[in-house]
């Protein structure tokens, strides 16, 4: 049964009754009105999906009512009807935006057919509008004012809607490669399917292969059940391979086969699994150098590099710093339940002069820390002192002095992970942000050092 709402406006009660009965039999919810004023009261209380209007009403013309209805919702189709048929009236109604024009007396079956067609138009228009909103949602998450980023967003919009199945994102750590990968997915026809991400760094080759391609029961020790991999789960969607430059050579050949043939076997399996997946790969490494040194396959490099997108570092787009900083202030106001009003102009100038070697991630962390420490409603330069002091382009303070006898890197790494988890109350995502890691990277270290959260 349809629950779409149809508004019938006519000063003749018998016509309204006849249409109400016929449309109700088709499953439509029918609202009636005898004049323009009553019709507008109905529209105030209910959203309608189609309107059937008489041209001549006691308090005005149906075309005037149609304009007011379309101001409320431009997608609502309007069927005009009149007993005073003329070419001029028909032309006027169609020019004003009517879906169609019906002469009185009319056949009820014909009217129902017109309503059905009009509602199909409504559904199509609303679906297109909804899809466009969804497509733009991911791109709107990218906060930017600079010309270089706006050009990049325009390029991504075209790419997302194309049939390209491989994309390479290049850029320094913290420039927003993960955010851009998600935006590509959300702006594409694949947005209704899965977007899955994995970091290729610091994960043993066998485990990474299992995560990507899945495994059969008994494929290795502890493989007690069959598990589908990311490519299988993301069929029809997008897989984001972060830090692709760190993928082991043995897996690179298997990834190339998947990209070329669109199929693979689970670890320990014999059956070919066919998938349709867009692969977005990202790296902050110099893949040209990795290819020359034999650490990255040449054929895989060229396959992934079909559509490269280079994200400029934050220091090369200073126009983005004020809007990004303001965005993070708004974000953390909501997250911390605060009401900070903004950033002092001198502090903003200091932010713009800062080199931001950690790019947008470093800026976000600096604003977050400043907001936690700030005593007043405006962030001052002093609130950022621990982030900006002594960090000019030509001079970077050492974070740690190496003891004369050296240090145990494993123990230092473990201690930093423990500290980050303690400061964030065991929140792995926030702890990863504090250490400049991905969530996969910190999870690996939690397992590696057998930490509990």
pLDDT tens for 368-379 read: 888 887 777 888
Q: Would you state the pLDDT for residue 285?
A: 87
Per-residue pLDDT tens over the stretch 213-225? 988 888 777 778 8
Mean per-residue pLDDT for 386-392?
A: 48
**Which CATH number belongs to the domain containing residue 429 in this structure?**
1.10.10
Comparing 140-144, 258-262, 413-417, which segment has the lowest mean pLDDT?
140-144
Name the band, by pLDDT with cuts 50, 70 and 90, for residue 74.
Answer: confident
pLDDT of 437 higher than 80 = no
pLDDT of 396 higher than 50 = no
pLDDT of 195 higher than 70 = yes
CA distances from 75 to 29, 45, 55, 67, 118 (A): 18, 18, 20, 12, 10
**Which CATH number belongs to the domain containing residue 360 in this structure?**
1.10.8.60
40: in domain: yes
CA distances from 378 to 73, 319, 343, 345, 388 (A): 41, 21, 5, 10, 17
**Which CATH number belongs to the domain containing residue 275 in this structure?**
3.40.50.300
Residues 233 and 98 in one domain: no
| 234/383 Cα distance (integer angstroms) | 44
Strand partners, 50: 6
State residue 52 phi and psi, 5-degree precision.
Answer: -115, 115
453: in domain: no
| 404/440 Cα distance (integer angstroms) | 34
Q: Would you state the pLDDT for residue 275?
A: 93
Name the band, by pLDDT with cuts 50, 70 and 90, for residue 31.
Answer: very high
Q: Would you state the pLDDT for residue 291?
A: 92
Residues 193 and 174 in one domain: yes
Number of domains in the chain: 4
Residues 89 and 237 in one domain: no
Q: Would you state the pLDDT for residue 161?
A: 86
397: in domain: no
Give the range with max mean pLDDT: 67-81, 135-149, 271-285, 355-369.
271-285
Residues 258 and 158 in one domain: yes
pLDDT of 265 higher than 80 = yes
Residue range of the domain that includes 441? 409-448
246: in domain: yes
Which residue, of 131, 164, 189, is where some domain finishes?
Answer: 131
Mean per-residue pLDDT for 23-49?
A: 90
Q: Would you state the pLDDT for residue 253?
A: 92
Residues 24 and 118 in one domain: yes
Residues 186 and 295 in one domain: yes
Query: Distance between terminal CA atoms of the chain?
Result: 51
| 185/179 Cα distance (integer angstroms) | 10
Residues 378 and 442 in one domain: no
Mean per-residue pLDDT for 204-214?
A: 85
Mean pLDDT of all residues belonging to the chain: 84
Q: Is the model more confident about 90 or about 73? A: 73
Indicate the pTM of the whole model.
Answer: 0.59
Residues 201 and 303 in one domain: yes
Name the band, by pLDDT with cuts 50, 70 and 90, for residue 36.
Answer: very high
**Which CATH number belongs to the domain containing residue 69 in this structure?**
3.40.50.2300
pLDDT of 397 higher than 50 = no
Residues 120 and 269 in one domain: no
Q: Would you state the pLDDT for residue 130?
A: 57
Mean per-residue pLDDT for 371-396?
A: 66
pLDDT of 260 higher than 70 = yes
pLDDT of 90 higher than 90 = no
pLDDT of 357 higher than 50 = yes
Name the band, by pLDDT with cuts 50, 70 and 90, for residue 395.
Answer: very low
Residues 376 and 443 in one domain: no
Q: Is the model more confident about 101 or about 83? A: 101
In degrees, to the nearest 5, what angle opens at C-alpha 144 toward C-alphas 142 and 147?
125
Q: Would you state the pLDDT for residue 131?
A: 53
398: in domain: no
Share of the chain above pLDDT 90, in %: 30
Mean per-residue pLDDT for 139-157?
A: 85
Mean per-residue pLDDT for 442-453?
A: 80
Which residue, of 131, 155, 173, is where some domain finishes?
Answer: 131
| 2/210 Cα distance (integer angstroms) | 46
Q: Would you state the pLDDT for residue 296?
A: 93
The pairing of beta strand 238-242 with beta strand 278-283: parallel
Q: Is the model more confident about 221 or about 400? A: 221
Closest Cα to residue 354, out of 384, 317, 391, 323?
Answer: 391
């Amino acid at each position: 049964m349809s629950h779409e709402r149809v508004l019938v406006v006519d000063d003749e009660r018998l016509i309204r009754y006849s249409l109400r009965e016929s449309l109700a039999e088709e499953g439509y919810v029918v609202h009636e009105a005898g004049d323009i004023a009553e019709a507008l009261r109905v529209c105030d209380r209910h959203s309608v999906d189609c309107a059937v209007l008489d041209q001549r009403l006691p308090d005005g013309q149906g075309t005037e009512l149609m304009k007011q209805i379309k101001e409320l919702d431009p997608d609502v189709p309007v069927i005009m009807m009149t007993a005073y048929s003329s070419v001029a009236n028909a032309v006027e109604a169609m020019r004003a935006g009517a879906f169609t024009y019906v002469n009185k007396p009319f056949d009820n079956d014909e009217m129902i057919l017109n309503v059905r067609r009009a509602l199909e138009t409504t559904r199509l228009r609303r679906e297109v509008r909804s899809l466009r909103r969804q497509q733009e949602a991911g791109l709107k998450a990218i906060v930017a004012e600079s010309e270089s980023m706006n050009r990049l967003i325009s390029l991504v919009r075209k790419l997302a809607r194309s049939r390209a199945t491989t994309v390479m994102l290049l850029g320094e750590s913290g420039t927003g490669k993960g955010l851009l990968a998600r935006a590509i997915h959300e702006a594409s026809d694949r947005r209704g399917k899965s977007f899955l991400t994995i970091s290729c760094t610091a994960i043993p080759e066998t485990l990474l292969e299992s995560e990507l391609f899945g495994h059969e029961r008994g494929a290795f020790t502890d493989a007690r059940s069959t598990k589908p991999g990311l490519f299988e789960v993301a069929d029809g969607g997008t897989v984001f391979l972060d830090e692709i430059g760190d993928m082991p050579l043995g897996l690179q050949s298997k990834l190339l086969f998947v990209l070329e043939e669109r199929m693979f076997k689970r670890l320990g399996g014999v059956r070919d699994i066919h998938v349709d997946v867009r692969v977005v790969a990202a790296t902050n490494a110099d893949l040209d150098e990795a290819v020359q040194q034999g650490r990255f396959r040449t054929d895989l490099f060229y396959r992934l590099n079909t559509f490269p997108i280079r994200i400029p570092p934050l220091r090369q787009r200073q126009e983005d710093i004020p809007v990004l900083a303001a965005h993070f202030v708004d974000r953390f106001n909501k997250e911390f339940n605060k009401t900070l009003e903004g950033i002092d102009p001198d502090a903003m100038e200091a932010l713009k002069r800062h080199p931001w070697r950690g790019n947008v991630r470093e800026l976000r962390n600096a604003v977050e820390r400043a907001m936690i420490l700030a005593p007043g409603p405006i962030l001052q330069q002093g609130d950022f002192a621990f982030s900006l002091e002594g960090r000019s382009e030509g001079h970077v303070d050492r974070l740690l002095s190496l003891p004369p006898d050296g240090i145990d890197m494993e123990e230092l790494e473990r201690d930093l992970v423990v500290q980050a988890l303690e400061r964030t109350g065991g929140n792995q995502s926030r702890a990863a942000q504090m250490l400049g890691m991905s969530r996969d990277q910190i999870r690996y270290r939690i397992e590696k050092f057998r930490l509990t959260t």
